[in-house]
């Protein structure tokens, strides 16, 4: 991912360079990482204050259920989900 994919340079560096913010392309989730594996979800950028786009967790599960009849997707190992759901491809393709 490059800088234009994020709201500001600080957010980009925090994700790509310093690894203190986690960005999950699959469901467009941002979170601050803590050493114990805990992740605090972000709704606003901590640096520039812009409201981040909403998480797509509900939309992800709904899409898998309605379009592919997958009731319990394995989003850890991706054993039973179509290839497009392994990245941001699925939501970009649907204009979300």
User: Average pLDDT, stretch 2-28?
Assistant: 90
Q: Is the dihedral of CA 91, 92, 94, 96 positive or negative?
A: positive
pLDDT value for 39 = 85
pTM, full prediction: 0.82
pLDDT in tens, 26-49: 999 999 988 777 889 999 999 999
d(CA 80, CA 16): 29
65: Cβ–Cβ under 8 A, 6 or more apart, which residues? 71
> In which region does residue 35 sit, left (phi positive, over 0), alpha (psi from -120 to 50) or beta (all else)?
alpha
Strands 21-24 and 29-33 come out as antiparallel
């Amino acid at each position: 991912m490059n800088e234009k994919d994020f709201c500001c340079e600080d957010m980009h560096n925090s994700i790509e360079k310093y690894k203190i913010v986690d960005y999950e392309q699959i469901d467009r989730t941002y979170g601050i990482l803590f050493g114990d594996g805990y992740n605090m979800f972000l709704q606003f950028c901590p640096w520039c204050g812009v409201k981040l786009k909403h998480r797509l967790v509900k939309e992800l599960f709904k899409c898998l259920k309605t379009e592919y009849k997958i009731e319990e997707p394995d989003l850890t190992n991706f054993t039973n989900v179509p290839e497009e759901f392994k990245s941001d491809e699925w939501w970009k393709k649907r204009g979300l």
